[in-house]
A and B are shown apart, each in its own frame.
Chain A
Amino acid sequence: AQSVSQHNHHVILSEAASLELGCNYSYGGTVNLFWYVQYPGQHLQLLLKYFSGDPLVKGIKGFEAEFIKSKFSFNLRKPSVQWSDTAEYFCAVNAGDDKIIFGKGTRLHILP
């Protein structure tokens, strides 16, 4: 069965710090990978996705993620965070069927 693990449950950073949120998945076949963001009081929004091609994916708001197949990882990065990046971030995987399996989420707090 597919599963997704996010290493950090809660991350606190100062503005302008660099961010990397870890995500690993367990599935041996071809996968589609996603990062979703949920800002306080808002619904889930797609941040970026990887289906195929260049393993370095650029998303909205300066975020990027790198798919490393050998490590079953899809870590999210941003070189310089802003206070407005405070949100909960979910990594998710789809193995070609209907389902998207979500990680438990990482709550990110950015200190002004």
Chain B
Amino acid sequence: GAVVSQHPSWVICKSGTSVKIECRSLDFQATTMFWYRQFPKQSLMLMATSNEGSKATYEQGVEKDKFLINHASLTLSTLTVTSAHPEDSSFYICSARKGTEQETQYFGPGTRLLVL
């Protein structure tokens, strides 16, 4: 199998606080993980590509100081939304790529963030 989990599944926080979201590959090693953001009734927008042991590559328009990504091991990547604001409220989804299947990504269940 290829199972990816995310924690938490949903979080509510106050404006100005930071929120950390974890993405784990449960039964395989993922050298590369991806972070997406999904707005209501819209597609997934790639935010950044995270490679184990190196700095993440951010897509144009994504603030790297706002969305901190750490890929410390082959099974864990974290996304920290720093100083969250209401406009950061969204559905954040991660995916992971198996080392042996370079073209296929396996998706986590997503984390719904609501910033008050």
Q: Measured between alpha carbons, how far is A102 from B43 in the docked complex, in Å?
A: 6
B49 pairs with A98, CB closer than 8 A: yes
Q: Contact: B103 with A49, CB < 8 Å?
A: yes
- Interface flag for A61 (CB, 8 Å): no
B93 CB to closest chain A CB, in angstroms? 7
Asked if B78 is at the interface of the complex by the 8 Å CB criterion, the answer is no
B73 at interface (Cβ–Cβ under 8 A)? Answer: no
Interface size on A, residues (CB 8 A): 20
Most-contacted residue by chain A among B44, B46, B95 (CB, 10 A): B44
Distance of A55 Cα from B105 Cα, bound (Å)? 21
| A90 interfacial by beta-carbon distance below 8 Å | yes
Q: Contact at A104–B42, with CB atoms within 8 Å?
A: yes
**B107 and A43 contact, CB distance less than 8 A:** yes
| Residues from 72 to 116 in B contacting A, C-beta threshold 8 Å | 93, 95, 103-110
CB-based contact B103/A32 at 8 Å:
yes
A110 interface contact, C-beta 8 A: no
Q: In the bound complex, do residue A98 and residue B32 qualify as a contact, i.e. CB atoms below 8 Å apart?
A: yes
What is the interface of chain B, defined by CB distance below 8 A to chain A?
4, 32, 34, 42-44, 46, 49, 57, 93, 95, 103-110
Give 13 A-B contacts (CB < 8 Å), ordered by A residue. A42-B109, A43-B93, A43-B108, A43-B110, A44-B44, A46-B106, A49-B104, A51-B103, A90-B43, A98-B49, A98-B57, A99-B49, A103-B43
